[in-house]
Amino acid sequence: MNKEQRSKVQIYTIEGCPFCMASLELLHGLGIEHEVIDLSGRMDRREVVSAILPGHHSVPLILIDGKPIGGNSELQSMHAAGKLTEQVFA
Amino acid sequence: MSEVLKTLIVGSGPAGYTAAIYAARANLQPVLLKGMQPGGQLTITNDVENYPGFPEGIMGPLMMEAFEKQAARFDTVIHADTATEVDLSESPFRVETNLGKTLLTKTLIISTGASARYLGLESETQLQGRGVSACATCDGFFFRDKDVCLVGGGDTACEEAVYLTHHASQVHMLVRRDVFRASKIMQERVFANPKIEVQWNTEVREVLGVDEGHVTGLRLENNKTGEIFEQKTDGLFLAMGHTPNTELFVDSLDLDDNKYLRTAADSTATKVPGVFACGDCQDSVYRQAVTAAGTGCMAAIEAERFLEASS
């Protein structure tokens, strides 16, 4: 049964970031459509990320319906607990 | 239930991809699961200068891209998926994955590598991503013109410290002993870099800044004098080495005291016939990309011979 995606998923990444790749591969593998915001080469990378999640100094940064959930380890933990697909799909 | 594979490879560093290349060329039609950190430790390494064949060195991620491409060239089926459960009690072996697949296989090659070692402090966990990082390549930029500390004394620690000087205003290397474990050439680079200060006999007791929501400093101990002191810093990078990713196999295979998979002498064979282990998940001595590739090759050849003997 194909489930309809009800949540918007965004992911801030940079090139050459293996944890960004791991997150992207998980989203792709689960069939979760997502917007990739590539911060490579952006000198305001720190400000962009901190504006979304104050104090966060890392990529990737994943948002679901505009709410930051954290980085790759948070995304993987959410999936391991069965909560990621539960939240994203109808 | 899926068809029974001839060879399933779990893990995608130099060991896994080399096993795939050899297995594919032996017509074992290997399937490879990339795992939680696709490409392995080399993807958080900048310049790999000691892998033969690259006189000018090569960026770790590019090297792993090339390995993957070569494995795919010989028709390895590569899945962006992770093994979450294994049953090695009978053949074919059963492997469950993160994306809900069940895979059955006659031979299993374990190349799960190792993951970054953390200090194990509660404050470190709470401040991960908020100034605590195990990936200088990923997060170094966030510390442009800031002061950072780095824990570790091996080649990786020295390489990451030098890399961080491209961003940070100052890098303090916190080394547990009074000597580096690193190769002489990496030590020379550290000592020659004016932005790196080495603090010997220094261990982290607490990461400060939990209430503020970001790293503000460290509580350190000089393990020679016993002195405890606080040091302001904006970031803490961990480069203390790795622990093998072998939790999945704790109940089915033999592990040594440091959680490395045990294999027979001069072999990648584990105690379960048809299951082979290669790379950093079974090598506590060398832990180099080239030795991992070597054992990956051995594992594939041993898997091929196992299948021939049992057919």
pLDDT of res. A46: 85
B257-275: pLDDT as tens digits:
999 999 999 999 999 999 9
Q: Which helix (H) or strand (E) holds B147?
A: strand B147-151
* Least Cα separation, residue B294 to chain A (angstroms): 24
CATH code 1.10.10.10 for B4-115+242-310? no
Helix H segments across chain B?
14-25, 60-73, 122-126, 136-139, 155-164, 184-192, 289-310
Q: Is the pLDDT of residue B158 over 60?
A: yes
Does domain B122-238 match CATH 1.10.3720.10? no
B85: pLDDT strictly greater than 80: yes
B-interface mutation test, from A19, A69, A73, most B Cβ less than 10 A away: A19
d(CA B231, CA B221): 10
Instruction: Identify whether B47 is a catalytic site residue.
Output: no
CA distance B311 to chain A (A): 35
Q: With bands split at pLDDT 50, 70 and 90, how would you rate the model's confidence at B2?
A: low
Please provide the CATH number assigned to the domain covering A20-88. 3.40.30.10
Whether B122-238 and B4-115+242-310 are alike in CATH topology: the answer is: yes
Q: Where are the domains of chain A?
A: 20-88
Name B284's Cβ contacts closer than 8 Å, sequence gap at least 6.
B244, B256, B258, B260
CA distances from B209 to A34, A53, A84, B2, B231 (A): 33, 16, 30, 50, 12
Contact yes or no for B137 and A19 at CB 8 A:
no
Q: What pLDDT is attached to residue A2?
A: 54
Mean pLDDT of B85-108: 96
**Partner-chain contact B37 A57, CB within 8 Å:** no
Which stretches does DSSP call E strand in B175-234?
196-199, 202-208, 217-222, 228-232
Residue B110 — pLDDT band, cuts 50, 70, 90? very high
* Residue B1 predicted with pLDDT over 60: no
Phi, psi of B241 (to 5 degrees): 100, -170
* Residue A37 to chain B, least CA–CA distance (Å): 15
Over residues B117-152, the pLDDT tens digits come to 999 999 999 998 899 998 888 899 889 999 999 999
Q: Any idea where the domains of chain B sit in the sequence?
A: 4-115+242-310, 122-238
Average pLDDT, integer, range A19-42: 91
Q: What would the mean pLDDT of A27-32 be, rounded to a whole number?
A: 91
A22 part of contact set with chain B, CB < 8 Å: yes
Q: Is the pLDDT of residue A90 over 80?
A: no
Partners of A11 in the β-ladder: A36, A62
A26 neighbourhood in chain B, CB within 8 Å:
80, 98
Which of A3-17, B33-47, B91-105, B268-282 is the least confident region? Answer: B33-47
Helix axes A18-29, A72-80, angle to 10 degrees: 30
- Taking an 8 Å cut-off on Cβ atoms, the answer to whether B139 and A59 are in contact is yes
Cβ separation B138–A30 shorter than 8 A: no
Give the DSSP H/E element, type plus range, for residue B8: strand B4-10
The span from the CA of B153 to the CA of B174, in Å, is 8
pLDDT digits (tens, 9 = 90+) for B191-216: 999 999 999 999 999 999 999 989 99
Mean pLDDT of chain B: 94
Tokens matching residue B50: 């000691």
Would you state the structure tokens that stand for residue A56, as one six-digit string?
A: 């966060």
